[in-house]
Amino acid sequence: MELKGKHIDVAGTRAHYYDVGQGEPTILIHGGGPGASGLSNYRKNVEALAARRRVIVFDLPGFGETEGKLKDGPIFEAMGDFTRAFMDAIDVKKASFVGNSLGGATSLMVALRAPERVNRLVLMGTGGSQAIFSPMPTEGLRRMAMFHAGEGPTLQKLKGVIDLLVFDQSSITEELLAERLKAATRPDVIDIFKRPPLDIWRENLAALKHRTLLIWGREDRVVPLDSSFILLKTMPNAQLHVFPKCGHWAQWEKADEFNALVADFLDRP
């Protein structure tokens, strides 16, 4: 599938996105790792998920090809507000969400602040979750937080982050690293670790009645598996699927299984 990107003004920010397929809207939101973007995170998933639904993949502010203009405040709150404004701009009243890491937390903030705009949720390695057994911050989060510090972004530092995002490092190509380093060194990049934190697990998750699929990699070294437990216990209609031999990028490392699992969950009556 050849994807052609579009641009639209979202509350004064030039935003970049892809819009493919027909049917119920499903919005895919990428993570906050160095050089992340919508297509970089979901290039193995868009075509499969768009077979029976409308799939919208956009770049958050400061990532991909979207301007680095975002209102002040906690990162998840600000990104959630931007996502709702993006939905208004493309005239989508309600959608299902698939979110990885920062994208998962952003999806949750949309549901918490405007539950009527969310149908179903698929959340992978969701940021802002509280680990029960694992020490925090994890090695992956520490490396991300230091990426822009000191001498700034380097290929070595990027490789150190990416290596912790996956279980099998052989899936990471030199082309992917080069692509993400270029994106991570743009002048208006938003360093999410310089924003005030927001603890998702302290929010009123019990009020979220949306059917929710939590997906975690058993070997996730960024947001560990035990970070899913509070979400699973608190959200009344949440279920959990765990992939073995999988890190923080379930949609990348287990793409075929992930696509089938998510399509079945979203299509189920």
Q: How many residues belong to the chain?
A: 269
| CA–CA dist 49, 73 (Å, integer) | 33
Query: How many DSSP H helices and E strands does the chain contain?
Result: 10, 8
List 7's β-bridge partners, or say none.
Answer: 16
Note if the bond before 137 is cis, omega within 30 degrees: yes
What distance, in Å, lies between the first and last C-alpha atoms of the chain?
Answer: 28
Q: How far is CA 7 from CA 78, 82, 135, in A?
A: 20, 15, 41
Pair type for strands 54-58 and 95-100: unpaired
List 247's β-bridge partners, or say none.
Answer: none
Neighbours of 23 (CB within 10 A): 13
Give 3's Cβ-side CA count (13 Å radius): 22
Give 26's Cβ-side CA count (13 Å radius): 29
Task: Quickly tell me which residue has 């509280």 as its tokens.
Answer: 130
| CA–CA dist 33, 141 (Å, integer) | 9
User: Measured over all CA atoms, what is the biggest interatomic distance in the chain, rounded to whole angstroms?
Assistant: 52
Show which residues are catalytic.
Answer: 248
